[in-house]
Chain A
C-alpha cells in the first residue's frame, strides 16, 4: 500500500484525459460531464482544497452512474455500452487515486479504453493520437514507481520515452509477422451504425438516395493507367425480377440453379486491387467483366462477385477483368429465358404498345430496337436527382408524362421495353466512374457513383451492355457524378460540407487528393495488412509452411530479446548483485551528485565519516553505515551483515529525504566562499 507521489497523481489525471478524449465524439453528454468533473474534483483534492469524498458520496455516484448507463443504453449490451461502462468506471476510480494499487487499476483499464478507440475510428490521425496517449499512460505507469518524495514530472516522461523507443523495433516486427487471427469472439455491432450502399431491390428512386452521401464505397488501385471513364462499369448486382414497380433479385434457390455464363472472347485485361469498405452486405464489385473470382470469394449469379459472409470490415482483393469481352451466345435454357423475360401479366399498356410498334419497325432485331429507345430518351428527357414521384403504371408515367428520371428509371424502362417484345434483358446495379488519384494510382468510388444499366441478350453476341443514361446525359458517363450534379440541391444533401471538399480544381483539391492518397496507403498497408502479409511472407520465404512461419516469427523476436538480455546482463555485471553492494553503489552515486567524491585511496568508512562531518543532516545514518561497513568488510564479522543491510537502507532513505537540504547548504557554502 504505497502512496504515490504528487507528480504521479498529476500524471494519472493527464493519462485519464488523454484516453477518454477521443470518445467524446459519441459519449452521452452526462458521461462527458463526468469525465471532466472527476479529474477536476481530484485536482481540488490534490490542491488540498477539498478532502477525499466520504464513502456515502462515492456510493451515491456509483448508483447514479449505473442508473444513467441503464437509462442511456437501455439494456443494450453493444460495443458503445460496453466502452461507456469502462469509461464511467475509469472516471469514478480517478477520484480516489491515492495508492499505487489504485493507480495500477486505473492505468490498466486506461490502456484498454485507449485500444477501444480503434473500434470507432481508424484514421492515421487517431492512430497517432492513441500512440501519444499510450506514451502518456506508460509515463503515468512509470511515475507511480518512482520515489514518493520525488516530485519531478519530467523524469518518468524521459524514462518512458526511452522505453517506448526501445520497444519500437519489436512492435514493427510483430506488426509485420504476427499472424492475423480471426476474432476469437465478436462484439455485437450497433444497429444504428448501418451504412448506405446498394440494396438488393431497385425501385426507380432508390439509387438517387445514395447520391445524398459522399461516403466511400471502395477504392481500386491500378499499377498502370486506369481504364477510360466510359469503361468504368463496376458490376455488383443483377436484378432480374420485375413486379411492376421495383426490380429485385431472384430468390437464392432460383439463382443457384442457373448455369454459369462463360466468356468466349476476351481482351484488354486489367488487373487491380479493390479495397472495399464494409457494407454489411455480401456483394462485391468488379469491372465488367471479371475473369475469375479472387481467392476467398466467388463468381456467382450472372458473373457478379460475392462473398460468403456479409462484409463487416474493410477487405481487399485482387481481380483481373476484361474490358473487351464477349459472353458465350449459347442458347439460353428455357428456365433462364423465362427468368429474363418475366414481366407482370398486365400494366404499363402504353409502353407495351409503343414497344411493339418499334419492334416491328426494327424488323424484330434487338440492336435497332435499342437504338430506337435511346433516340427516344435523347428527346425531351432529362436526368435529375429529384424526379417526381411515380404511382400506378410507373413505366408508362415515366415514359409519357414526367420524362424526368435517374439512372434507375432509364435502366428499368429499357429492360421493361426489351422484355415486352421478347428480348431477354436484365438490370445491372453497381457503380460507374470513380475519381483518379494520380499520387498513388487508384480510383476512389463513392456512394454517389452508384449506377444502374441494362444487359440484353442477343443470339449472336450473348449478353450485351447498354447504358441508357449515357444517351440522356453523356456527361454522367464520360465525366463524373459530382460534376453532373454539382448544381442539384439534392446532391450530397446529407453532408453539405462535402460539396466544398469535392471541388475538382485548385490547391484545396490538390491537398485533398494528397491527403486521400496517404489515407489510402494507411488503409491498404496498415489497417488491411492481413491480405498483404501472406504475400509478403511468401515473397520472403517462398512456399509457406508452419515451421517457416514459426521460425520467421521467433527469429527476430529472439534476436531482439537476446539483445535486450545482453544489455541487461552487461549492466548486471557492472552492477553488483547483492542488495548491500547495490545499495552502497546507489549511495555513492548520490553523494557524488552532491559533490562528495571518494578518493581512490579512501576506504568507504573513512569517506562516509568525512561526508558525515560535512553534512550533519545525514551524519547519524552515515556514521552507522561507516561502522557497519567496516565491521563487515574488514573485521569480517558475519553477525553484522543484517546491521549493514538496515544501515544501507536507512542511509538511502535519509539521503533521499535530505537531498535538497544538503544541496542547498552546499550551494550556500559555495556562494559564501
Chain B
C-alpha cells in the first residue's frame, strides 16, 4: 500500500517535471504544500508557468479544478456563488460559484479588492462558504493555489499579513536556466503536454498520503532546532516581527511531508532547511525595510546564525 502510494507520488513528480522543465524543486515544494493540506501562493511575473503548475498539479493528483481570473471589479459572489429566484418553484436557489471544486486556481489574486480577497479567506480557512445566511460545505480535499504578481507592479492590492498567513507556502518559479529554455523553445506546445499528463493518484490515496505525512517522526533534536530557529526570528534585530506559533506548526508540517517524499520516516534538519524559505519567507519582514518581503535574505541569515546542534 505504502509502496503504491510512494510510487504514485513519484510518478506525479516526474510527470510534472516533464511539463515544467528544470523546476524540480518548485514542483516538489508545491506538491509538499498540497500533501501537507496547505494552500499555495505562487508569486511571479506573468508568463513564468504559474498556471501551468497549478493545472498540472490538479491533473496528476486527479483533482477537479476550477480557475478564476481575479480582476479589480470582481465581487465575492463571483467566486462563492449566488442565490437566484426561480419562478418555477417560487424560491431562491443557490447557484454554486467556482469555489466549489477540489482545487481552485486563483489567478492574480492581488488584482482584486480586499473584499473579494477576504471572501476567499473564509473558504480557505474553514472549508466552507456562507451565502445569504446559509453555510455550504466545500468538497474535500480543497486546495487553493493562488498566483500573484510582485507587489511592486501597477494596479495591485497587496494581501494583508493575516491573509498571507493562510497560505502554507509561498514560492516563485523564476526564469528557466538557458539550456532548459532552449529545450522549452524547441519543444512542443505546453497545452498539449499538459493534456497528456497522467492521473497518478486517486482522491482516497491522496488522503492516505496526507495522513502518512503527518506521522513522520520528529525527534527532540529536530524539534529543538526548529524552536531555536523560530526563537531567533523573535529575538533578532533583523526581523521586525517573528514567526508565530502557527508559522512554526506550518514549518513542521511541511518538513514532515518533505521527509516523506524523501522516503524517510523521520525528520532531519535538512527537511526543515529545505522548506524554511517557502514557509516563513512571507511570514517575516526585515526590520530595516518593513515594506518589502526580503524573505530569502533573512532565511539565509537565519541558517547561518542558528546552529543545528545547538
Listed in ascending order, the chain A residues whose CB lies under 8 Å from chain B are 599-606, 630, 633-636
Contacts and interface: CB of A to CB of B under 8 A. Distances in A.
- Please name the 3 residue pairs, one residue from A and one from B, whose CB atoms are nearest each other, closest first: A601-B303, A635-B266, A600-B307
Contact of A635 (B219, B305, B309): B219
B268 A636 contact: no
Nearest to B309: A604
B304 interface: yes
A636 B304 contact: no
Contacts of B208: none
B266 A606 contact: no
Interface in B254-307: 265-270, 273, 303-307
A277 B221 CA distance: 73
B45 to A, nearest CB: 30
Contact of A600 (B219, B221, B304): B304
B199 interface: no
Contacts of B267: 634
Interface string B209-252: 00000000101111000000000000000000000000000000
Nearest to B307: A600
Nearest to A601: B303
Contacts of B159: none
A634 B273 contact: no
B266 A634 contact: yes
B74 interface: no
A603 B269 CA distance: 7
Contacts of B217: 635-636
Given A633-B219, A634-B222, A600 B268 contact: no
B149 to A, nearest CB: 32
Interface residues of B, number: 19
A518 B224 CA distance: 66
B266 A603 contact: no
B121 interface: no
A599 to B, nearest CB: 8
Contacts of B304: 599-601
Contacts of A600: 303-308
B306 A601 contact: yes
A603 B222 CA distance: 10
Nearest to B218: A634
A602 B221 contact: no
Nearest to A630: B268
Contacts of A604: 308-309
Contacts of A633: 219, 221
A603 B308 contact: yes
A604 B222 CA distance: 12
A512 B240 CA distance: 81
A634 B259 CA distance: 12
25 contacts: A600-B305, A600-B306, A600-B307, A600-B308, A601-B273, A601-B303, A601-B306, A601-B307, A601-B308, A602-B308, A603-B269, A603-B270, A603-B308, A603-B309, A604-B308, A605-B268, A606-B270, A630-B268, A633-B219, A633-B221, A634-B222, A634-B268, A635-B219, A636-B219, A636-B220
Contacts of A601: 269, 273, 303-304, 306-308
Nearest to B302: A601
Contacts of B220: 636
A605 B273 CA distance: 15
A634 B222 CA distance: 7
A603 B267 CA distance: 12
Nearest to B276: A601
Nearest to A584: B309
A218 B269 CA distance: 81
A601 B304 CA distance: 6
A625 B306 CA distance: 23
B174 to A, nearest CB: 22
Nearest to A581: B309
Interface in B115-140: none
A419 B248 CA distance: 118
A354 to B, nearest CB: 110
Nearest to A607: B308
Nearest to A635: B266
Nearest to A636: B219
A606 B303 CA distance: 15
Given A600-B307, A635-B217, A636-B220, 13 more contacts: A600-B304, A600-B308, A601-B273, A601-B308, A604-B308, A604-B309, A630-B268, A633-B219, A633-B221, A634-B268, A635-B219, A636-B219, A636-B266
A636 B267 CA distance: 10
Interface string B14-50: 0000000000000000000000000000000000000
A670 B128 CA distance: 64
A604 B267 CA distance: 14
A635 B304 CA distance: 24
